[in-house]
Structure formats: C-alpha cells, structure tokens
Copies of this chain bind each other. A is one copy, B any other.
Amino acid sequence: MAESADTPATPGHSPVDLDPAYREAVVDLLAVIAYGEISAFERLAEDAKLAPTVADKVDLATMASLELAKVHPLHDRLRELGADPFVAMAPFRTPIEEFHRHTAPADWFEGLVKAYVGDGLANDFYREIAAYLDPATRDLVVAAMEEGGHAAFVVERVRAAIADDGRLGGRLALWGRRLMGEALTQAQRVAADRESLAALLAGGVDRPGLDLAAMGRLFSRLTERHMERMAELGLEA
C-alpha cells in the first residue's frame, strides 16, 4: 500500500528537507556503502572456505553476516529518500568488484589481513565523510561502521602466525601496502565518476567542506590509521 500523504514526516528524516544536490550525494554515499557491505559479505564468505579450522570459519562467517546485516537499514533509508537501492548501487558495482578482483587473497592469512585492513580503511573514510552530513544520515553511516569487536580474532590469528613464520610477516606487509594502493585507486575512480560525492566533500554555500589542504590532512589521517592497524597486526606498514 502507498504511504498516506498526510503521514507526518519524522523531523530531520524527511526527503523534502534535503536540497536536490545534497540528496543525490547522500543517495550515492549510502549506495556505495551498501554495495561495499554486500561485496564484503561475498568476499568474507568466500575467504571463510580457506579457514584452517571450523572455529576460524565460523569467526569469518560471523564477520560476513555482520556486514550483510548493515545493508538493510541503508536500503530502508534509500527508499525513504525515494531511491531504488539497486538502481542507486549500480554505478558502484564496477569499482568495488575491481578492487576485489585486484586484491583476491592467495591464502587464509591474506584474507584475514584484507578483512581487517580493508574494512578498517573503508570505515575510517566513511566516518570522515560522515562529519559533512546531516545528523540523521550521519548516525546511520556511523552505525553502519560499527564492527562489534569481532575483528579482534584477526589480530590474534595474524600475530600468532607471523611469530611462527617471519617470511609470512614480510609477505603480509607487502600485501597491506597493495590493499592501500588499490583502495586509493578505486576511491579516486569513484570521486572522478560521481560529481555529487566530490561536491559533498568540497562543501556548498550553506555547508562547510574540505579545501585542498584539508583533503590532504584527511588522507594523512587515513594513512596514519592504516599504519596503526598494520602495527596492531604486527606488520610493518
């Protein structure tokens, strides 16, 4: 049934509050995050097959399920904004699949590092963007970034493995650098293709944004946190 036209709008949630350019940017942002979660589910479920034990498999499968659970509220909000979630996600399919195609883990440990470092990087980036959003959208984006601490098992497994095998540590350190490089490549591609997202970061007449210097600082923060994550795993960044 169609929604009644006189249903009161939730304050701060109504699509009519948003100017069209900003609405378009929010649709793009929620869609890219949602498709990223779907893709993360697929990749983690695939990597779970490489698990050396059933316990490890359940841990990675649980991470996969948690990613997927975040898709539904993002889709709900896209529908509230008058967008079809699957149409909205379509432009992001290629860059996200390309990222995964270029970073297919060769083994269980590369899969673990990718889960930890890749998702961490994406989360940091979206949290940074969240600062430029209206409160309702910001809360939704920040909630989608919560990982429930389940990734802690990755740190434990990777540290134990490299303690046993120093060469693995060297290989995984290179792998971490490659993940960062591929993520930046695809993020630039998205920014070039989707003007609305670039405009969101640049700000507007009535919204603060990032100038080039601020953008530079954003990237140093992302790089710094990437290095912290690598260090948590016991890897040189």
Residues of A participating in the B interface, judged by any CB pair closer than 8 Å: 35, 38, 41-42, 45-46, 48-49, 53-55, 57-58, 61-62, 64-65, 68-69, 71-72, 86, 89, 93
- Tell me which of B38, B55, B61, B72 contacts A57 (CB under 8 A): B38
- Tell me which of B42, B45, B71 contacts A42 (CB under 8 A): B45
Q: Which residues of B contact A41 (CB under 8 A)?
A: 45, 61, 65
Minimum CB distance partner of A72 in chain B: B62
Please give the count of copies of this chain that the complex contains.
2
CB distance from A75 to the nearest CB of B (A): 8
Q: Contact: A68 with B57, CB < 8 Å?
A: no
Given contacts A54-B38, A54-B93, A58-B71, contact A64 B45 (CB under 8 A): yes
Q: Contact: A58 with B42, CB < 8 Å?
A: no
Q: Which residues of B contact A86 (CB under 8 A)?
A: 53-55
- Tell me which of B48, B49, B58, B68 contacts A61 (CB under 8 A): B68
- Tell me which of B42, B55, B62, B69 contacts A48 (CB under 8 A): B42
Q: Which residues of B contact A65 (CB under 8 A)?
A: 41, 64-65, 68-69
Q: Contact: A62 with B68, CB < 8 Å?
A: yes
Minimum CB distance partner of A69 in chain B: B65
For the complex of A and B, 8 pairs with smallest distance between CB atoms: A45-B45, A65-B65, A65-B68, A55-B86, A61-B68, A41-B61, A54-B86, A38-B58
